[in-house]
Structure 1
Amino acid sequence: MPLQAVRPKILGFISEQASAWLVALVVLLAGFALTAVVAWAAADLYQQQVRQRFQLLVNERYSRLQERFDDQEQRLNSLRRFFVNSDDVSREEFDGFAQPLLLRARAYSWAPRVYREQRGQFEKAVSAQRGTPFVICELNSTGELAPAPERDEYVPVLYSQTQSLLGAPLGFDLLAQPLRRSVLERAQNTGKLAVSQPMQLVGVEPDYATGVLLVAPVSHLPTSDQSQNEPYGYVMAVISMRQLVADGLPKPDRDNLVMQIVDTSDVQKRVLFESGNAVASSDLVGARRLTLGDHVYALTLRPSQVFDQANHSSLSTILTMGGLLSLLLSALLYVLVSQRQRALKLVEQRTAQLRLREQELRGAHGQLRSVLNAATQVAIIATDLRGVINTFNAGAEQMLGFKAEQVVGTHTLESLHLASELEARSASLSVALGKRIPASQAMLVESPDNLHQAREWTLVREDRSQLTVNMLATVLLDDHGLWIGHLAIYLDITEQKRAYEALAARDRLLKKLSAHVPGGIFQFTLEPQDNWKFIYASDGMRDIYEIETGVLQQDAKKVFERIHPLDAERVRASIRLSALQLSHWREEYRVLLPQRGLRWIRGEATPEELPGGGTLWHGYVSDISDLKRVEEELRALSITDSLTGIHNRRYFQDRLKAEMVRLNRTSGALSVIMLDIDHFKRINDQHGHAVGDGVLQELCKRISQRLRRTDVFCRLGGEEFMVLCPHTDGAQAYSLAMELWASLRSVPMEPVGIVTASFGVASWRVDEGIDGLLLRADSAVYVAKQAGRDRVEAQSVC
């Protein structure tokens, strides 16, 4: 009888298959009902939480804004007390006190009261104090500042400390406009802080122009017989509602609230501030009262779309998850009930698959044999546990010259290897592993430092010739994981070894050639990802940068760490430019070496574009420090007098030209002092030229000690000298010449005694050239000599 005919019935009339569907349906309906109840409760809880979160945000925002309003009152009161407690406040004192107060306020200002009869004197006094014309002004019909007409009283802005880039409207009369006049009158009448109606602020960027004016009257301290003095001026805070309210709050795309501020005393109910973010579709609203001075502002807060997105309802998630859970539970019950039927079907399918797999394995065994024989370039040899060969493919026959019939079942793997090589390998393995390894197993045992890697061996062919191969050996396991033999795979590497030997010979030749080249030879690549790399570096690179070549090839950035910081960016930029234009690279730069210190390097390289992107350079670097040192020495010799060690005529002419260019561009002062040793020919004739040279050297020493660092002392030739004095007028140069004259004649020189000189001083005149300046200095020296020598003569006035 079939198995399906004896399946049991549930309740005697419902089949097993029908009962599975029925249970699944009941569970699904019960799950849906429970999900609806949970979703209703969650929705109610969500509404309560949203209201609580909104109220917390409203209270926090209100507290923050009221603190800011109170802070502005406190700052303005502190500024008023500063004026009350001071007899006279200068502009610098006002700026020093008001600067730190500029937090969320556009400006702080001081405006004194000026009466009609005081206006002229007041404007003159302020103009003299400021150094610029000062006029009491007001806005004309075109919105520009113009002189104010005659009135009984003015309240002009005298001092102002502002954050605005447009500057302060100094001199602006606050009584010229009704809104500002109204707030001043209220402050004067009450003696307390007063706030203006919403207005457009003057001297403020358009984005911050909407705001209010917070005013505090300033009066002298009352005497014993007075209760309160009439205010003599006002301190004001120019407050932009946008800056006061929005500064420091979340950006519109992140703000949870939409704010609106309206002045309750404003008949037009104009909006002082309104958030730029979108309002959420919600009935939640919060209303608060903000006070500033004598005004009350209505603050209205509504949730924004950001708040709506951050507090989205989980109702859809609960319904979705509840429905899915109910569906999964009903499906699970259905699966459990119908498991027996599916299990029986699965057994039948598995049985059919096993029979099919058995047939496939039989075919695969034949295919494997064909694959082994098809691998003619690789020798594949398998052995049993005793080492006797039981598989010998066609590649092994072709490689070793044996036929499979000759070796299978008769030869071991040991018989194919060179005996001396096996014994040497056996001895090294025994020492490494601490136990004796027989020679017959040496090719199958792996050393601890060379696991699962191919090893080079020597095989003996049938004709007794030797063959070098790479061998990879592994164990063979049966279906139960038991060890049944070994598998060895051999690859002929004769041609590979020849290629390696040729490459090694080429590398040795390249190394010898590069060792005799001064400097270093390199190959350098720059990949698209800004990856710098040396693919070749000769030994000379180690001497240039004091970095091992192996380290250079691993990290090319080590070279740039050696380059002088002032040259590094220039070298990088030139390399990138060479890569961009594929142009020849050539640079001279400095390196800071740990042992040799500062050295000069010259590098040249030729770029080529790589197929996969990037650039490859072939080039060399060399040390040119000695060449640079010679260049510096030659340059020093070209501008130095060899006898005295001071600058020569050539250097003086170059410096004088440079100074004249500076004067023509920026103006300023410049003077020269020319001196000629008196009776120097007599010194040479009486004492010899060696003594004369000593006199020249001693004179240069004495004068150099008296000169400033900015002065330039030069020898024009023979016994004539010149001192170039930048930024020095005629009087200063004459004073310096007198000091030089006194220092020269104060102490005698051995063996000639007192040596004197005639000095001539000339200072630069506007539109005068080099020749004219030098001619006047030379003329002054001539005048000194004609007047008896040993004196200082100033420039001619004509």
Structure 2
Amino acid sequence: MSLQAVRPKILGFISEQASAWLVALVVLLGGCTLTTIVAWAASDLDQQQERQRFQLLVNERFSRLQERFEDQEQRLGSLRRFFVNSDEVSREEFEGFAQPLLQRARAYAWAPRVSRDQRKLFEQQVSRQRGTPFNIRELNANGELAPAAERDEYVPVLYSQTLSLLVSPLGFDLLAQPLRRSALERAQKSGKLAVSQPMQLVGLEPAYATGVLLVAPVTAHGATEPHGFVMAVISMRQLVAEGLPRPDRDNLAMQIVDTSDLQQRLLYESGSARVDSDLSAVRRLTLGDHVYALSLRPSEMFEQANHSSLALILAMGGLLSLLLSALLYVLVSQRQRALKLVQQSTMQLRAREQELRGAHGQLRSVLNAATQVAIIATDLRGVINTFNAGAEQMLGFKAEQVLGRSTLESLHVPAELEARATSLSVALGKRIPPSQAMLVESPDSQHEASEWTLVRENGSQLTVNMLGTVLLDDHGLWVGYLAIYLDVTEQKRAYEALAARDRLLKKLSAHVPGGIFQFTLEPQDNWRFIYASDGMRDIYEIETGMLQQDAKKVFERIHPLDVERVRASIRLSALQLSHWREEYRVQLPQRGLRWIRGEATPEELPAGGTLWHGYVSDITDLKRVEEELRTLSITDSLTGIHNRRYFQDRLKTEMLRLNRTAGALSVIMLDIDHFKRINDQHGHGVGDGVLQELCKRIGQRLRRTDVFCRLGGEEFMVLCPNTDGEQAYRLAMELWQSLRSAPMEPVGIVTASFGVASWRVDEGVDGLLLRADSAVYVAKQAGRDRVAAEEVQA
């Protein structure tokens, strides 16, 4: 039989006689084709991802701008309600209310309606109030403010609160300019907010001069016509651009067009450079009675951040294909030269092979006796020359089918041989052909059986353990190979089933939040984890292997105040075979204090003891949210002290304590004098500051056992446990003195009326509070700014 009949093909399909240049060319063409396909797929994926990123940026930008537009409407609406609900608003009150509203608006203004007959009287009254001459003005031909011409009606700017460094255009008649007049007429007609067409705003720096005027009519209760207008002067640069990335860092190029304008004038355009792209988006923004078209396109920054990887893939794929083809050319050419040398040596050994055939016959009878083991011998070329009865029974081939015709390689799975040959080549530092992979031993597993997959005569596969060795002649020359196979298919199937179950359990436990465990408590008080998932390591910061060795390490992590309770609950669950559920704290080396919730179902073991199946999870965030909600429910949001609800709960608790054990209890009620006057003169913002300063001063004078609460508005209560009436009166005097000892900016000295009442036997909550409230009433009737004790029983 010729060597050519059993010679393997290169890569499984290229003949050994093929030219090395042809092999390299085929591989190069195949690599280039594959690179082109991959590059096309990557390009399509890049385009999809680019569109998705652009849509995310568009949605975020639209949401931010719409929120800003709605915020301006809400702020102007609150200013209008302030005027509607006030009989008369002074300049100081307007500035105090409008100052906090100046956010992304350049100015807020109030402009009353003035008729032709009222003009002169109106200008005189405003001049006296301001102390400076005041005239109703309009822009002349030179763009300067000059006295307004005679008209039936004027809407001059009377009050103005602005961020601009320029002088406010007080007295400017809004009806003197068509765009402003149109906005006022639409607001008067609809009774709702109206917005002007894009215009150059008066009294603003040039950088902020382009914008719109948002107008709201102010109509008194019961009236049909508005008596004036409140306005928000909105600069598009301030409203839109502030808070957004710089133009050279922005991913989007943006334009805003007023769709209500017949000329479709541009309201705002960002400085970002646009690029030619099919990506674009248009959204609708609403402000007042106008609808704006927001147009968004990608900028140069977006294009740079999302460049395609097509060129890189083509370059790298082409380079790899070229290198691979060059490598195959070298390997194929060297292999062909090596095979020629092998063929020459084989011809010399053929004669020696004939002599060995006789010896093989003697061994065949011995080998055929081993029917449960396959023994196969080959010559140096890998051609089978010995095939015992055990091999026939195991593989289904007859000896005459394979002897001298098949190689040992043909009985193995090709992919397995390729993988083994690659691994051996790396480990030994030299190339091992797949035809010899099953016979070469790796450095770390010498003289050990290795697992292989054989192909039976019917095409089915068989898993075996193989032990291979070389055959030597009498002179110590290498003449062939000997392979011994043992069928381990059933054994491997059992191992794989166990491994699959372990993998499934590991996957399931990895997707369960927290940790899953099996835990036993044996009669000798031996605590042990039978199983612990990887989540247990995260919960307790203990490796699972260490947990299974010593379960007591878990109890070392439990907080000292909780550990005995947890132990007792486990023993009770074991005694009653009841569901175990506990929440407890653990002290971890890295994450510190954490809250844990554990649940498990017990079952009794046949040999005694209890087995639990359960899980634990980290509930620290849930506990933190519960604590924050509890704190918010009992805390006054403005002053930071306790609220009425907390006071009522504590007072009921103290009353129950007094009914059980007796003792003393007093309350101090205080009401700020003339607090409404403070709000009216200085604004609610100053009033809130007064409340906060009062709480600060009183809190510094209270004892640790006292409970300071805000009942509502300007009324406060101090609960004094274990304190009689005389002690509470002295404390009230100290608190009264702390208030009037120093002024509060900007209102000066703030005083309060105090009332003191102490608990009486068999008295309820309502009676105690009624007497404290009566004492406050007595203090106010006596002239305020004093402390009044409760009336003594006759």
TM-score (norm: length of structure 1): 0.43
TM-score by length of 2: 0.43
Structure index of larger Rg: 1
